[in-house]
């Protein structure tokens, strides 16, 4: 691939000039006043997802230069290499083929393997869903990171399609406060445990699985082979644990890209194989869009490039996600792993330190809860934080009055962030709750909003399995885009290793009879001593 590092491209230099001349001071209110077509110019329809990108601090030239940046940094070649199964995860020598997991039969690499597992997984899920025969009323997914966040996000999002007689539980944390209240609700004969772990070695998951197995036996459970199943690439370790039913996947599926694989078993049980297939079909439609749409009309590409513009030129360090659909309550947590584990990197593909920022902090809560917590800071704080609103046109509940209120709030927040309120406008208003002893101008200054705060609004027609699949795939490819422009490996996660190794060293010191702080830094030794006192 004949790609240049982003900061060595012609487009990067042009973007720097453009930022100084126009970008930094672009005022959204003026931009809309100047161009009545601005909404249309920055509207994009991708499969299942409509995006309004017009309330962002960019103009047509910014977008053109960003697309040139994508071309100069070899985004298209890198994308094609991913779909072709080249080992683009260079530090682990692996292909990156989560797109193959959702391709129709015969249309992607490894199709026979993928559909072989899917067929078995669907048969199994349907058998569990036949609660009259299976007797299963509770399903517990034990996994962490990518083996937890995907199913844990999708299951509530598709609650409208969920099996009414099966309760889904998720246990991830090695802290026993996670599994203990879950076990309290269960009876062995009615429970299926899914041990989801790509490696089947992750400390948290193995520890919780062992607790679950012991609980099962202690409560008189008789058939571990029937009540524990595995979703893993490590079939040998699963067998050693006592699991006979395993659904495999492959090293070319990254943990945070694995909900489409056997790791999605909890989803397939919750919503059924037909709905799971629709989830895959939605993701596949977005894959085709990402692969085929010109960069100018390519939604994941546009979003990824906007992230680069904000991170490296505006120097915004975070992005807030505000889904106005309670079903998407775990989406911000899911996106944290997807984006920050993928793009939280400090060296280029060839190991050189990078002089520019990479992954922003991604965070958020569902609207309207976030409004009553941290939106104050988004509106009047000193940092500019781009916000991503997600609105769904048709609800999956009958309370249309509530739905209208949720949508009104969603639109109002992006409007308020952009429009702001001048001190003059605040002065002209009555402020009945303001202190009478403070000067009017002082009160007005407290009550004014700078505005010009950027946001994107994503619209779905309905939160169907297909739409959700497309939305998640859109995020995956957006992360791919910014990672490709930054020239980093978005598919490894060495940053989690050091803490794991140090915990391995500390664990015996915590369980030993004597305090042993030898060789530790003074802070860790002091904390250890207090914990053991």
Tell me if residue 403 is catalytic: no
Q: Does 503 bind ligand F6P (CB under 6 A)?
A: no
Burial 67-95 (b: 16+ CB within 10 A, else e): bbbbebbbbbebbebbbebbebbeebebb
Distances, alpha carbon 94 to alpha carbons 235, 322, 336, in Å: 19, 34, 23
Strands (E), 405-471: 455-462
Tell me whether residue 145 or residue 221 sits nearer to ligand F6P (CB atom). Answer: 145
* Binders of ligand F6P in range 254-293 (CB under 6 A): 255-256
CB of 254 to ligand F6P, least distance (A): 7
CB of 47 to ligand F6P, least distance (A): 26
CB of 94 to ligand F6P, least distance (A): 13
**Cβ proximity of 140 and 215 under 8 Å:** no
What is the pairing mode between strands 387-394 and 318-323?
parallel
Tell me whether residue 205 or residue 358 sits nearer to ligand F6P (CB atom). Answer: 205
Is the C-alpha dihedral spanning 51, 52, 56, 59 positive or negative?
positive
Q: Does 197 bind ligand F6P (CB under 6 A)?
A: yes
For ligand F6P, which stretch binds (CB under 6 A), given 85-93, 195-203, 207-215, 469-477? 195-203
Spatial CA neighbour of 284 closest among 102, 412, 418? 102
Q: Does 457 bind ligand F6P (CB under 6 A)?
A: no
Burial 166-200 (b: 16+ CB within 10 A, else e): bbbbbbbebeeebbeebbeebebbbbbbbbbbbeb
Spatial CA neighbour of 277 closest among 268, 286, 269, 285? 268
Tell me if residue 126 is catalytic: no
Strands (E), 84-218: 138-142, 167-171, 191-196
For ligand F6P, which stretch binds (CB under 6 A), given 31-39, 197-205, 386-394, 517-525? 197-205
CB of 334 to ligand F6P, least distance (A): 11
Residue of 185, 244, 372, 397 marked active site: 372
Q: Does 336 bind ligand F6P (CB under 6 A)?
A: no
Please provide residue 304's backbone torsions phi and psi, each rounded to the nearest 5 degrees. Answer: -65, -40
Please provide residue 457's backbone torsions phi and psi, each rounded to the nearest 5 degrees. Answer: -120, 125
Tell me whether residue 69 or residue 268 sits nearer to ligand F6P (CB atom). Answer: 268
**Cβ proximity of 179 and 208 under 8 Å:** yes
CB of 517 to ligand F6P, least distance (A): 28
Q: Does 496 bind ligand F6P (CB under 6 A)?
A: yes
Q: Does 248 bind ligand F6P (CB under 6 A)?
A: no
Residue of 48, 339, 341, 476 marked active site: 341
CB of 497 to ligand F6P, least distance (A): 9
Residue nearest to ligand F6P (CB): 255
Q: Does 67 bind ligand F6P (CB under 6 A)?
A: no
How many residues at the interface with ligand F6P, by CB under 6 A? 14
List, by residue number, the catalytic residues.
341, 372, 500
Residues binding ligand F6P (CB under 6 A): 144-147, 197-199, 202, 205, 255-256, 341, 493, 496
């Amino acid at each position: 691939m004949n790609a240049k590092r982003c900061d060595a491209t012609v487009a990067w230099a042009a973007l720097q000039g453009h930022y100084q001349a126009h970008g930094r001071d672009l005022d959204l209110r003026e931009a809309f006043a100047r161009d009545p077509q601005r909404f249309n110019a920055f509207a994009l329809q991708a499969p299942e997802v409509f995006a309004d990108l017009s309330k962002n601090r960019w103009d047509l030239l910014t977008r053109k230069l960003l697309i040139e940046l994508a071309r100069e940094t070899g985004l298209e070649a890198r994308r094609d290499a991913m779909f072709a199964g080249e080992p683009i995860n260079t530090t682990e020598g692996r292909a990156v083929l989560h797109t193959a997991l959702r391709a129709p039969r015969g249309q992607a690499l490894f199709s026979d393997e993928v559909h072989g597992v899917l067929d078995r997984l669907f048969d199994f899920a349907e058998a569990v869903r036949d609660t009259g025969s299976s007797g299963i009323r509770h399903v517990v997914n034990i996994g962490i990171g990518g083996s937890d966040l995907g199913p844990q996000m999708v299951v509530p999002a598709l609650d409208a399609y969920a099996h009414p007689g099966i309760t889904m539980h998720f246990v991830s944390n090695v802290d026993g406060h996670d599994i203990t209240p879950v076990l309290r609700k269960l009876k062995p004969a009615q429970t299926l445990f899914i041990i989801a772990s790509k490696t089947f070695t992750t400390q948290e998951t193995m520890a919780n699985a062992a607790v679950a197995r012991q609980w099962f036996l202690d409560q008189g459970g008789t058939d571990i082979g029937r009540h524990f199943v595995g979703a893993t690439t490590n079939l040998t370790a699963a067998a050693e644990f006592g699991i006979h039913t395993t659904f495999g996947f492959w090293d070319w599926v990254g943990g945070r890209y694995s909900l489409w694989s056997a790791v999605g078993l909890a989803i397939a049980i919750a919503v059924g194989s037909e709905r799971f297939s629709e989830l895959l079909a939605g993701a596949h439609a977005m894959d085709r869009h990402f692969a085929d749409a010109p960069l100018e009309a390519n939604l994941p590409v546009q979003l990824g490039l906007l992230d680069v513009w904000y991170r490296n030129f505006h120097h915004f360090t975070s992005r807030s996600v505000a889904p106005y659909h309670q079903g998407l309550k775990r989406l911000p947590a899911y996106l944290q792993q997807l984006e920050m584990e993928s793009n939280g990197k400090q060296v280029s593909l060839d190991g050189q330190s990078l002089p520019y920022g990479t992954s922003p902090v991604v965070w958020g809560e569902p609207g309207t809860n976030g409004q009553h917590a941290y939106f104050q800071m988004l509106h009047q704080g000193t940092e500019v934080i781009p916000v991503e609103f997600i609105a769904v046109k048709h609800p999956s509940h009958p309370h249309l009055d509530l739905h209208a209120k949720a949508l009104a709030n969603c639109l109002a927040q992006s409007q308020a962030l952009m429009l702001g309120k001048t001190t003059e406008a605040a002065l002209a208003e009555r402020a009945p709750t303001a202190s009478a002893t403070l000067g009017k101008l002082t009160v007005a200054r407290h009550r004014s909003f700078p505005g010009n705060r950027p946001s994107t609004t994503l619209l779905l027609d309905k939160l169907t399995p297909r739409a959700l699949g497309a939305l998640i795939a859109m995020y995956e490819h957006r992360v791919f885009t910014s990672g490709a422009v930054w020239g980093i490996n978005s598919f490894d996660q060495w940053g989690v290793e050091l803490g794991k190794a140090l915990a391995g060293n500390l664990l015996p010191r915590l369980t030993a009879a004597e305090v042993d702080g030898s060789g530790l830094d003074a802070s860790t030794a002091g904390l250890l001593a207090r914990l053991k006192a």
